[in-house]
Chain A
Amino acid sequence: MSDSFTKPVPHPMPDTQPFWDGLARGEYLIQRCKECGKLRHYPRPVCDGCWSMAHEWVAASGSGTVHSWTVCHHPFHMGFKAQSPYILLTVDLAEGVRAQGQLRGLPAEALRLGLPVALGYEREGEGPVLPIFRPAEET
């Protein structure tokens, strides 16, 4: 039911639409400058290293480590009330940019800086596919 999804939805621009299309396919895409090769994230029109606007998209490997986090208790948007409290992670992706996403499968007490996590994808109802994180598999 499209009217059952009450969370805020993204409003992509032509510049950013490929990122959302990637998520829908289960890929977390990062922009790479076609001139100098510098990665940039979140998506934007210009490379701040060489000012080229030519770019391509590369898929993140999905591995990362915890940079910081917050546990959201008060739902500032009613769409998040049912799942509160939820944990929002800031993650250093292996590629060198960061990503944000909710954490699944681990309590806040288990978190520490540098903890390995793995990127995943989740879709709720008619909402967009969003990135989430899980504890990385033991190696």
Chain B
Amino acid sequence: MSLFEKAAITGIGETAHGRGLQQGSALSLQMQASLAAIADAGLSPRDIDGVIPVATGVAVAEDFITNFGIPDLRFSATTPMGGASCVAAIQAAAAAVATGICRHVLLPIGRTGYSGTRIGARVHEMPQFRTIGEFELPLGNVAPAQIYAPMARRHMELYGTTSRQLAEIAVTTRQHAILNGNAAMTKPLSIEDHQNSRMIADPFRLFDCSLESDGGAAVVVSSAEAARDLRQPRVLVMGAAEGHPDSPSVITQRPDILRIGLAKAAPRAFAMAGVTPSDIQVAEIYDCFTYVVLRQLEEIGFCKPGEGGAFVEGGALGIGGRLPVNTHGGLLSQAHLAGMNHIVELVRQLRGQGGAAQVEGATLGLVTGYGDMGDGSIAIMRRG
């Protein structure tokens, strides 16, 4: 059996996004976002019978039973793939509702990445960083910017990709955050601003790096049947997949250090969905770093390997561009919620609720996740 159109995203919710908003703990932020998502779907919190808390160590399934008074939670799981977790959870939730284990699965996240422990400094506490922690951290390979930079450098050396091309991604994403309104970053950004920003881990400058922010976001995944009677236009999951790169614990030892898990996941998701990259009208692409967007565009098949730099030039990723990407402002400029905000935005776009950032007539799109040492996840959705 295939998961093709067996599940739908029925509810989306998010808090205000920002840095130092002092709007609550990471736990209360995800409760707030979850209640918003459940209300958006037209459900009661007691209707939730499945939960996949994103593995940031903040909340477990029991917290949702306790806070919402859920009488009979039938399904709980985690998908510990760092930034690929949220989209990977769509596949897990779709499998659970397709097989009748449960009907409405909540996918929540909330974090105080700015006010609490800073994200970039704390990754080595995670078990998936154990190998890096022993063999590379003592050498000075401390944070994701440094861990991922050799991939970007090799791409530049092999294909002539430039920092100005990476800047295109940052600039377009900032424009979208401004259109969104609910974003941590609100000032326009130019390519020159990017080029003048301080170097973090060459080739990554400050504006190649995502935010550390405070906020919460959540979505509800329901069975496609149960979704028919709910409040919002139905957004069906046509294809979903996760993929793990070779040498998943450490990039240094990967036979092809440019190859990421999405290279395995994307063909599976497209085959399940019965569409091709040329059918995609809007794409929310995990953007922990600008280069990671560029490389995913290649691995999905929007362009050939090595052509990502040329592909993103000239505002191609803007609203009305060749492929509108990260129409909400992404992790680079809206908020770092490990990509749950990317799912929220894709659903918003496909419902036609994108506001000033709405991609005209978009009914088919995709969302990706990227995490840890290159884990990948993807979901292709349509309004229907």
Bound pair (A, B): yes
Q: Interface residues, chain A, CB within 8 Å of chain B?
A: 7-12, 16, 41-42, 67-77, 80, 83, 85-86, 88, 90, 97-102, 108, 112-113, 127-128, 130-131
- A–B pairs, 16, beta carbons within 8 Å: A8-B137, A8-B142, A9-B138, A10-B137, A11-B133, A42-B253, A68-B257, A73-B200, A74-B198, A75-B142, A76-B146, A85-B202, A98-B253, A100-B135, A127-B138, A130-B138
The reply to whether A67 and B257 form a contact with Cβ atoms under 8 Å apart is: yes
* Alpha-carbon distance A68/B133, docked complex (angstroms): 20
The reply to whether B154 and A128 form a contact with Cβ atoms under 8 Å apart is: no
Q: Which residue of B lies closest to A71 (CB)?
A: B202
Is B140 part of the binding interface, using a Cβ–Cβ cutoff of 8 Å? yes
* Alpha-carbon distance A16/B124, docked complex (angstroms): 18
Cβ of B121: which chain A residues have Cβ within 8 Å of it?
76-77
Instruction: From A68, A86, A101, name the one whose CB has the most chain B CB atoms within 10 angstroms.
Output: A68
Is B348 part of the binding interface, using a Cβ–Cβ cutoff of 8 Å? no
Is B131 part of the binding interface, using a Cβ–Cβ cutoff of 8 Å? yes
* Alpha-carbon distance A73/B124, docked complex (angstroms): 20
Cβ of A42: which chain B residues have Cβ within 8 Å of it?
131, 134-135, 250, 253
- Which B residues, 135 to 170, have Cβ-Cβ distances below 8 Å to chain A? 135-143, 145-146, 149-151, 153-154, 157-158
Q: How many residues on B have C-beta within 8 angstroms of the other chain's C-beta atoms?
A: 34
The reply to whether A100 and B201 form a contact with Cβ atoms under 8 Å apart is: no
The reply to whether A16 and B134 form a contact with Cβ atoms under 8 Å apart is: yes
15 additional contacts, CB 8 Å, given A10-B137, A42-B253? A9-B138, A10-B134, A10-B135, A12-B134, A68-B257, A69-B153, A70-B201, A70-B202, A73-B198, A76-B143, A76-B145, A86-B140, A100-B252, A108-B202, A113-B154
Is B199 part of the binding interface, using a Cβ–Cβ cutoff of 8 Å? yes
Is B120 part of the binding interface, using a Cβ–Cβ cutoff of 8 Å? yes
The reply to whether A70 and B142 form a contact with Cβ atoms under 8 Å apart is: no
Q: Interface residues, chain B, CB within 8 Å of chain A?
A: 120-121, 124, 131, 133-143, 145-146, 149-151, 153-154, 157-158, 198-203, 250, 252-253, 257
Nearest CB of chain B from residue A92's CB, rounded to whole Å: 10
5 closest Cβ pairs, A-B complex: A70-B149, A68-B150, A71-B202, A76-B143, A76-B142
The reply to whether A80 and B142 form a contact with Cβ atoms under 8 Å apart is: yes
Contact residue among A11, A69, A98, A102 (Cβ-Cβ distance under 8 Å from B139): A102
Q: Is the interface of B mostly helix, strand, loop or mixed?
A: helix
Cβ of A102: which chain B residues have Cβ within 8 Å of it?
139-140
The reply to whether B146 and A72 form a contact with Cβ atoms under 8 Å apart is: yes
Q: Which residue of A lies closest to B246 (CB)?
A: A48
* Alpha-carbon distance A74/B143, docked complex (angstroms): 10
Nearest CB of chain A from residue B154's CB, rounded to whole Å: 4
The reply to whether B138 and A128 form a contact with Cβ atoms under 8 Å apart is: yes
The reply to whether B250 and A88 form a contact with Cβ atoms under 8 Å apart is: no
* Alpha-carbon distance A6/B84, docked complex (angstroms): 33
Nearest CB of chain A from residue B363's CB, rounded to whole Å: 41
* Alpha-carbon distance A68/B151, docked complex (angstroms): 7
Nearest CB of chain B from residue A114's CB, rounded to whole Å: 10
Cβ of B138: which chain A residues have Cβ within 8 Å of it?
7-10, 127-128, 130
Q: Which residue of A lies closest to B153 (CB)?
A: A68
Q: Which residue of A lies closest to B124 (CB)?
A: A8
Q: Which residue of B lies closest to A98 (CB)?
A: B252
The reply to whether A74 and B150 form a contact with Cβ atoms under 8 Å apart is: no
* Alpha-carbon distance A113/B160, docked complex (angstroms): 13
* Alpha-carbon distance A130/B141, docked complex (angstroms): 13
Nearest CB of chain B from residue A36's CB, rounded to whole Å: 18
* Alpha-carbon distance A131/B308, docked complex (angstroms): 34
* Alpha-carbon distance A77/B145, docked complex (angstroms): 13
The reply to whether B120 and A76 form a contact with Cβ atoms under 8 Å apart is: yes
The reply to whether A88 and B199 form a contact with Cβ atoms under 8 Å apart is: no
* Alpha-carbon distance A9/B138, docked complex (angstroms): 6
* Alpha-carbon distance A131/B138, docked complex (angstroms): 10
Nearest CB of chain A from residue B174's CB, rounded to whole Å: 21
* Alpha-carbon distance A42/B138, docked complex (angstroms): 14
* Alpha-carbon distance A127/B140, docked complex (angstroms): 13
Nearest CB of chain A from residue B122's CB, rounded to whole Å: 10
